[in-house]
Amino acid sequence: MKISKKERQDKLQLTIADNPFVTDDDLAKRFNVSVQTIRLDRMELSIPELRERIKNVAEQTFEDEVRSLPIGEVIGEIIDIELDENAISIFDVKEEHVFQRNQITRGHHLFAQANSLAVALIDDELALTASAQLHFNKPVQIGERVIAKAKVRRKDDRRTTVEVRSYVGQMLVFRGEFDMYRSTTQVEGGI
Amino acid sequence: MKISKKERQDKLQLTIADNPFVTDDDLAKRFNVSVQTIRLDRMELSIPELRERIKNVAEQTFEDEVRSLPIGEVIGEIIDIELDENAISIFDVKEEHVFQRNQITRGHHLFAQANSLAVALIDDELALTASAQLHFNKPVQIGERVIAKAKVRRKDDRRTTVEVRSYVGQMLVFRGEFDMYRSTTQVEGGI
DNA sequence: ACTCCTATTAGTACCTAGTGCTAGTAGCGG
DNA sequence: CCGCTACTAGCACTAGGTACTAATAGGAGT
């Protein structure tokens, strides 16, 4: 009971896509053909050998790691800061920051840029966000550069209120007001 | 100019951790020793061979993919969902989620968990956050498990309001109210 | 000085999962 | 019967190893 070449190659493609870890030998047994036939099939379909497939999978994740880990402590790049007064950071929206289906920046990246800028702005050992009001005014697309401008609005002995406005070009895309604890007095809440 | 065995093995470990794709040959040249020495080192340190290392990286991501892709783009893991009603997700706080200096979870991760849960809850093609009020009630430490519970509060023809409460054990650590756009009508703002 | 020990190097046979190449066969259409 | 496609078989070779044996250099201890 043999299946056609076309059919076998279709199934071969699906099988490898589903599990890149199968050897030619496995495939030969699965489809009741010789190893050589499998190799001819792979060649016709331009499917690389097992080791290359595995390496590709590994390299993908490795790149993702180096791309997302150096978040360091501030999201975006601070280009200007005067402690307890104001600060500016830029954040370039890349592929990993957007929803796949519509290429719109995921909200937590805009929040992260604004919030980490607010934290950096506080001239204190420890600054924690107690609460925040956020407004997402305009979707940000992949490839756009977001410039966040933070200003200290109010300050008393325990709290600081920071307002952050984020722009793409002249357009206000995000606005947030962050109520921040400072650490000199003992903290009872906040992040 | 030779370095000690101990020092070489320490550096070897770092080198491989940094880049699992190096061959014994590369390493031998880098440390000016023979390939055999590298192999003895790897054996003493129980470091598997190149192919195994690559395979491990690939298998990890492959597992991660099946685990995280079907859920799509949610931060944390959804354990229960009733569309347009309520949803629950869990998020385990690891090293990469905290401030280095105090081991407290960075706010945007709590926001991301809550916000992506709110997005997932909306039974619509496209859901964007328009605005949000956040309250960070208690710092979350590394190693803790955050359980976010989302409930739809109000719903009209264009907007849905979702409330998310996040707990560590019995303790409320975060509360957020998300005002969400739905896509059926054209969007004018929001993320 | 001689021995023991560790570190290192060298070399061989073998393994897997292949590539690249040549050659041969089976079945079918015209 | 010729030609074509599909398939199979075998050999040499490759990378990046494992597993093993053997040799050598240098120092510590006696």
Rg of chain A on CA atoms, in Å: 26
Task: State the amino acid at position B160 in one-letter form.
Answer: T
Each residue's pLDDT tens digit, A53-102? 999 888 876 654 433 323 345 577 777 788 888 888 889 888 878 776 67
Each residue's pLDDT tens digit, B28-87? 999 999 999 999 999 988 899 999 999 988 887 665 443 322 334 557 777 778 888 888
Domain membership flag for residue B9: yes
Of B58, B129, B174, which has the smallest distance from its Cβ to A54's Cβ?
Answer: B58
For residues A175 and A109, membership in a common domain is answered with: yes
For residues B14 and B101, membership in a common domain is answered with: no
- Domain interval for residue A172: 64-182
Q: What is the CATH number of the domain that holds A41?
A: 1.10.10.10
For A:3-22, CB contacts with B below 8 A are 20-21
Those residues with Cβ within 8 angstroms of residue A135's Cβ, 6 or more apart along the chain or in another chain? A174, A175, A176, B130, B131
Neighbours of A59 (CB within 10 A): 15
- Helix or strand holding residue B116 (H, E): helix B107-121
Q: Does A105 touch chain B (CB under 8 A)?
A: yes
Task: State the amino acid at position B88 in one-letter form.
Answer: I
For residues A77 and A18, membership in a common domain is answered with: no
Each residue's pLDDT tens digit, B145-165? 999 999 999 998 888 999 999
Distance from C-alpha of B150 to C-alpha of B132, rounded to nearest angstrom: 14
- What residues in A contact B22, CB-CB < 8 Å? none
Distance from C-alpha of A44 to C-alpha of A42, rounded to nearest angstrom: 5
User: pTM of the entire structure?
Assistant: 0.52
Domain membership flag for residue A34: yes
Q: What is the CATH number of the domain that holds B136?
A: 3.10.129.10
| CA-closest candidate to residue B189, choices A138, A175, A173 | A138
List Cβ<8 Å contacts ≥24 apart for A151-158. A151/A85, A151/A86, A152/A84, A152/A85, A152/A86, A152/A121, A153/A177, A155/A84, A157/A185, A158/A182, A158/A185
Domain count, chain A: 2
Q: Chain B: give the shortest CA distance to residue A116, in Å.
A: 9
Distance from C-alpha of B48 to C-alpha of A90, rounded to nearest angstrom: 42
